[in-house]
Structure 1
Amino acid sequence: MCERCSLGYYGNAQLGRHDDCRRCACPLAEAANNFSPTCEMDSRGGYLCTQCPLGYQGIHCQECAPGYFGNPMIAGSSCEPCECKDGGPCDQLTGQCLRCHGNTEGWRCERCKPAHYGDAQLSDCKPCECDAHGSMDTTQCNEITGQCQCKEKYVGRSCNQCQDGLGNVTAGCVTCQCDAMGSVTSKCDPVTGHCQCHPGVAGPLCDRCLPDHYLFSTTGCQSCDCDIVGSKSLSCDLASGGCDCKDNVIGRTCNTCQPGFWGLSEAGCQPCACDPVGSLHPDRCDAQTGQCQCKPGVEGRACQKCAQLFYGLSTYGCSECDICDKPGHICDPDTGRCVCPPFTEGPDCSRCQPNSWGFAPGLGCK
């Protein structure tokens, strides 16, 4: 009994008509474009292709699936896999790759974009980056090596350097003009034209000392080393290296008080001010402490008073006091007489005077 259609046909075989079963067209009836061996009738009297092969889609296998291209609706045409790198998508009809990576282009992303170079097969194309000053054309370079076409005097893959002995790309690669004394070599930087300077030397041509340096020579320039306390600034004379000293300060680096002064500070040095009577050398004192050199029996920074148990400051110094027989008495520093210490009273000078306090033996009260 003929109750169903043969493979490759669809319809209702039980109606008894000669055209009950019709040939499947998936999508065309021609064998070359009939890609599904089976189909079945749908609820609306149409048909559905049931075995579309890999790469085809649609109810009649009439379209190429994603990742494939072609037009199954044209006799002799089929769906072929996209040939794009990394499995990228292509146009479903033409097969042209839709998304090229790594600065590539072309039907199959097979070449680098203009002004790029590298390996398109690896999706690795880089910009030419031809230097605007040194290149004949900034948009063209060798598609494999990236070498730009250089103007005369320029070298380098990007034509961004000058030939040996030349420098300063932006100025057209001029002859190096390094100062013979201040430069380590006569060659200059092939890009900037700047020379390699000796220590302490500055300038594109190495023709001057750095700030706060002096004595330009074949070995470089020396640091001024001006004393930060004793100098008015850190700069010095370019020839001698002498720093600009504050008041009463001397030395090349301004680190010493001049004779007769002491106490180097932000204000300079202050006068010794030694007492002309009590000091051996009124115009001299220790540069750090300001202590003057005192005559015998004299004390104080400026040698301005008699030491304890001495009296009578004079050009000879101070005289030694006689021993005081009275308990608690001391020698008066002016007269040499035995007297009570300051602000004390009583037979043995052991009591503070009214409105005084803090008794100390031999020193008195306050």
Structure 2
Amino acid sequence: MACQPEAALLTRFLKIRLDPPNSTCGEPPEMYCTLENPYMCNNECDARTPELAHPPELMLDGEGRVPNTFWQSVSWKPFPDPLLVNITLSWGKSIELTEDIVITFESGRPEQMILEKSLDHGRTWQPYQFYAADCLNSFGMEPRSASDLRPASVLDIICTEEYSRGYVWKLENTVRFEIQERFALFGGPLLRDMASLYGRLDTTKDLRDFFTLTDLRLRLLRPATGPTRVDPLNLSKYFYAISNLDIRGRCRCNLHANNCVLENGKLSCECEHNTTGLDCERCKKGFQGRPWRAGSYLPIPKGTANVCEASGGEQNCQCFGHSNRCSYLDLLSTAVCVNCKHNTRGRHCQLCRLGYHRNPSAQLDHHNVCLDCKCNPDGSLHHRCNDTGYCDCKAGATGPKCDRCLPGYYWHKGCQASVCDNLLSRCENGGVCEDNGRCLCPTPYTGLLCEKVQCRKGAAGCVSQSPRDPTLHRVLLSLTALLIVANGRIPL
């Protein structure tokens, strides 16, 4: 298979942070009651006594210890203000989840909480899943479960009531984020068809990123309250307590490393294929002969390494024959082609210069790959064109090169609006101006400006379709006749 580190328990490598910082019980010491028996209040939390303290790191120690160890929050003393606690888990690098996230609560499971993830070390967050006893009331979402998902909805963010409605908390104390149920949509039951799953991870947009993160955040919004309303006289029985976090996955090395190591408290990939970086996310200096790409699972079962190639030389620069020299840019950590020929441009001479467009019949390495746009300077807005060679035309112009006029315009150093007399009148009803002097009218229109409907023989009087006032039009026609007579064009 394509090289990648083995999956492992990732809680060994994370750092944990609480917000607000004073969310942990024990300062000052406090007595707690149990949810199922509000009169049993003999659980003390005291941060000064190791046997009675419940710090956050006890979420990460092994299960099965007797007595059980767990982190515990302060009680809900500020009620009715919400008891809000954010638990942030950070790895310092990208990881890929491979199994379900399982959170074991020592208290009742929260009635409202959100699991979130970050891909940029906590700068931005996005929800992974919502949990509530009543999804519609809590988050305005219809309840769904992971079993409702289908291949087309595998990336959906859902709200589930499955883990928040039960009150037998000693028997039902885990909350899950189902990873493997989503994997099974492509790999089949029990993930027997891993080749199909890996193929989907390679070809389905955003699927691999969905299971990738640098940080997780658990937002605890409302503790378990049991089947009755909150008792304001006994708030010591409402709190959060987590005894274990089970998060399994692998370092994300973009399929360029088989191993991930912990050095100086930080995880990093042992990069291969001439790659470097925390996640093997770029080519080494001197190996920018072609753009960096993540490794591929395909073809299965071998995969494709997409090795970074040495810089220098026409082939290694990957300039498609349009340049024979590369320059390494430290700022971009990559090499770019210098002095692209044949009217090309771009990091790899893969684009056309402004004023040229891609020749659809030529390969990228052909010397005639870019053709001149040849936009008419009088009819186009500028000399550039789109990828198909069409120019941006001025008003009235048309055609791929903007060298023709639309109806109602005529060509004179560009397309000018057609007028048919000295009064700048325009032909109506689809008429076309000829020689800037008379209108050629389509059927059934007639008149000097195509403003009338042609009368049929024997039909009653025809009514003009022109929006122009008929009286004013008769006056204009009379003025036109007088001008003709005055100029001597018709003998009296």
Q: TM-score, normalised by structure 2?
A: 0.24
RCO greater where, 1 or 2, for CA within 8 Å and sep 6 or more? 2
Higher gyration radius (CA): 1
